């Protein structure tokens, strides 16, 4: 069955932890939003930050849910639909074997806090690059407003090429796998939140991390939160 294409709907291909896992549960509680539609749990208390302040500092990642990006958000191209995208993801996932990456650590990245692998992973970089390229046929080219918004951050020549070729500047050589935990922070707020987050995610920091599924996320309309639409298991390891 063909699902009608909605002009404002955006799709993204993410890695997100297994439902019910410690990272999924703690991440949903921290962000105050579970993209899978489960209860997010009570947001942990942090000394020196009231509930409203924490909500403001996590509002940006909360809109997307706890995730790491593999194919950045895009609108469907003319002649494509959601059913075709889902079928393509399912077929693609069957060609990729599950694999482990170095354990996560907490880090400051460009003014925000995130969980990142503690070491490089060629398999992870290759998966992200394949996702960017394989599903680009489903991506509607970025319009002038979106291009201008991306360029406002200040791009290198290579990132500008990525933006024009793939609709997003931070892909391929500029890709960094990261699970975002906050929006932009002052140095003072980052320093105060770092120990709190280290304690909150202590159970998952340093633990083995398996990449075994891809997740399709959908944003129904502008400023709406992304929701998890489906998970696609990678092939089992040999």
Give pLDDT tens digits for 158-186.
999 999 999 999 999 999 999 999 999 99
Question: How far apart, in whole angstroms, are the C-alpha atoms of residue 64 and residue 53?
Answer: 19
Under the banding of pLDDT at 50, 70 and 90, the label for residue 24 is: very high
Rg (CA), the chain: 18
Predicted pLDDT at 3: 46
CB atoms within 10 A of CB 74: 22
pLDDT at 39 over 90: no
> At residue 194, what are phi and psi to the nearest 5 degrees?
-55, -50
Give the length of the chain.
Answer: 238
Under the banding of pLDDT at 50, 70 and 90, the label for residue 123 is: very high
Question: How far apart, in whole angstroms, are the C-alpha atoms of residue 88 and residue 154?
Answer: 34
Give pLDDT tens digits for 183-196.
999 999 999 999 99
Give the CA-trace dihedral at 33, 35, 36, 42, to 10 degrees: -10
For residue 195, give Cα distances in angstroms to 105, 107, 166.
Answer: 12, 11, 37
Bridge partners, 218 (sequence order): 11, 227
Predicted pLDDT at 238: 57
pTM of the model: 0.92
The full set of domains in the chain, from first to last, is 10-233 (3.90.1140.10)
10-15 and 112-117 beta bridge pairing = unpaired
CB atoms within 10 A of CB 100: 14
Predicted pLDDT at 153: 84
């Amino acid at each position: 069955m063909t699902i009608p294409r909605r002009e404002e709907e955006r799709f993204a291909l993410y890695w997100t932890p297994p439902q019910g896992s410690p990272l999924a549960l703690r991440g949903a509680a921290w962000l105050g939003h579970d993209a899978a539609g489960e209860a997010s749990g009570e947001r942990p208390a942090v000394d020196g930050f009231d509930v409203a302040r924490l909500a403001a500092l996590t509002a940006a990642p909360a809109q997307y849910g706890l995730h790491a990006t593999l194919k950045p958000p895009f609108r469907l191209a003319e002649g494509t639909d959601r059913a075709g995208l889902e079928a393509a993801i399912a077929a693609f996932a069957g060609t990729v074997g599950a694999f482990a990456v170095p354990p996560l650590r907490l880090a400051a990245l460009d003014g925000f806090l995130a969980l990142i692998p503690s070491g490089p992973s060629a398999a992870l970089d290759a998966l992200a690059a394949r996702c960017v390229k394989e599903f680009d046929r489903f991506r509607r080219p970025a319009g002038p407003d979106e291009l201008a918004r991306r360029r406002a951050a200040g791009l290198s020549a290579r990132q500008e090429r990525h933006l024009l070729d793939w609709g997003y500047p931070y892909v391929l050589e500029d890709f960094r796998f990261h699970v975002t935990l906050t929006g932009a922070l002052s140095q003072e707020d980052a320093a105060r939140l770092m120990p709190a987050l280290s304690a909150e995610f202590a159970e998952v920091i340093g633990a083995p991390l398996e990449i075994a599924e891809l997740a399709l996320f959908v944003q129904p309309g502008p400023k709406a939160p992304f929701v998890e639409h489906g998970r696609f298991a990678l092939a089992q390891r040999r």
